Amino acid sequence: MAARAQLSEIDRSLEHGLSPRQNCADRGRQNFIFHVKRKLAAINNQGLHTVAQHRSGVEDPTREQSEEALTGSAPFAAWSALNIGAQRQMWVALGDMIDRQYDDLERRRQALETRSKQGSLEIDPAFEMPRYLLDYAFHGQPGGYIDNRGDTDIRAGVLQEAGGALYSRGIGSGLRDSKAQAVLRYLNEQFPGLSPKRILDLACGHGSQTCGYAAAFPEAETHGVDAGEALLRFAHYKSESLGIPLHLHQQDAARTGFEDGSFDLVVSNILLHEVPTDVLEQIMVECWRLLAPGGVVIHQDVPTQKPDMPGFRKFMAMWQTEHNDEPYWERFCNTSVPEALIAAGFNRAHTFEDYVPQLAGPLLWYFVGAQKV
């Protein structure tokens, strides 16, 4: 049985039993993409902002003024082509790295299969895939979140984890932090003494954040749901290699099969901006149903809801909708999550919405949730 990984170890630098191995060429490719992304982020923050100000003649251009000012300008066209080009190359470079060593990854998966399990994996052969996941390859990830090539496939999970880490580094997020650690710091401040017995991570994906929650609350039983079979399979073997027991289920986050009131803590990371509005509302209803009295739900997502977000930033965030396979980003920005929570049954006085700076990075974390009282 593997030694149990500690919360402080579970960040973007974590190596585990199914981590792909970089060769010299992979290192060159991925570092090139990383540095290109870093520089493009700096050009976005400084140069393009100045161009928008200059062409609009306004110090703080609105979203519409920013769009009008930048559309058709040579620097913006160049930045856009390079940004999307770097994103495409990221997926190709990572996909090639994974495919080259897939036989080795499969051998490692088989070796983990033979060990005694602490957690569990439940794949539903009758699972009905939500339509929006069939239609969109979020962030341009080839195959999206749901690609599954067979009963032992883990490729989508390896790719999602590697892509997420490189993308986050490229936009300036440091290696020594994670979304789960940020949520846990926030929960510790807002709900000191919270000690859940059962935790549910909605849309748990490759399971890194789920591992973080389980490591933070080792006495709790931690569950995760996701639609992607290969993601869940990867998360299962990865968590086993880390000595962290997770109970993973192929279920729709909007309609899980758990009993009413069966969790004390329900979390999600970067889920809400990737679902249609009606699904977001249904997820809030499901959170209300799943929480026991006194339980807490917290969702972490992109900080585009912030009312005082400058218009230029809003425009650049919306650019993702059309250019980086983020079809629901704009609708998410125009949706009040607290109102959706209240409509689902939560008391207005016990909902919260907050923006917290990253520990290692330039961005803000967006937290929204409620306590069921």
Partner 1 sequence: MKVQGPQGAAKPQYFDDPAIDALYRMVLVLGEEIAVLQEQVHAMTALHAEGESPTEQALDAFHPDEAFDKLRQRFAERLLEPVQHLIDRELST
First-to-last C-alpha distance (Å) of the chain:
40
CB of 198 to partner 1, least distance (A): 28
Query: Nearest CA to 222 among 238, 198, 255?
Result: 198
Among 33, 154, 180, 267, binds partner 1 (CB under 8 A): 33
Residues β-bridged to residue 255? 252
Site string for partner 1, 289-328 (x = CB under 8 A): ---------------------------------xx-x---
The smaller minimum CB distance to partner 1, of residues 196 and 205, is found at: 205
In the region spanning residues 139 to 158, those forming contacts with partner 1, defined by CB under 8 A, are 140-150, 156
Site string for partner 1, 321-360 (x = CB under 8 A): -xx-x-----------------------------------
Among 8, 13, 27, 96, binds partner 1 (CB under 8 A): 27
The smaller minimum CB distance to partner 1, of residues 16 and 29, is found at: 29
Applying CB under 8 A, does 174 fall inside the site for partner 1? no
Among 55, 179, 238, 289, binds partner 1 (CB under 8 A): 55
What does the alpha-carbon distance between residue 163 and residue 169 come to, in Å, rounded to a whole number?
10
In the region spanning residues 80 to 139, those forming contacts with partner 1, defined by CB under 8 A, are 80-82, 84-86, 88-89, 93, 125, 127, 129, 134-137
Q: Report H helices in 291-367.
A: 311-323, 329-333, 337-344
Among 6, 8, 13, 31, binds partner 1 (CB under 8 A): 31
Adjacency order of strands within the sheet including 364-371: 120-122, 246-250, 221-226, 198-202, 263-269, 291-301, 364-371, 351-357
Contacts of residue 315, defined as CB under 8 A and 6 or more positions apart, other chains included, come to 52, 63, 64, 66, 67, 70
What does the alpha-carbon distance between residue 333 and residue 322 come to, in Å, rounded to a whole number?
14
* Phi, psi dihedrals of residue 246, rounded to the nearest 5°: -120, 145
The smaller minimum CB distance to partner 1, of residues 135 and 308, is found at: 135
Among 50, 110, 120, 195, binds partner 1 (CB under 8 A): 50
Applying CB under 8 A, does 40 fall inside the site for partner 1? yes
Query: Per this entry, what is the length of the chain?
Result: 373
Q: Please, what is the angle between helix 337-344 and helix 277-290, to 10°?
A: 50
In the region spanning residues 214 to 243, those forming contacts with partner 1, defined by CB under 8 A, are 229
Query: Nearest CA to 266 among 333, 332, 187, 181?
Result: 187
Task: Supply the DSSP symbol for 272.
Answer: G
The smaller minimum CB distance to partner 1, of residues 156 and 298, is found at: 156
How many Cα atoms within 13 Å fall on the side-chain side of residue 95? 13
The smaller minimum CB distance to partner 1, of residues 6 and 13, is found at: 13
- Site of interaction with partner 1 (CB under 8 A): 21-25, 27-29, 31-33, 35-36, 38-40, 43, 47-48, 50-51, 54-55, 73-75, 77-82, 84-86, 88-89, 93, 125, 127, 129, 134-137, 140-150, 156, 229, 322-323, 325
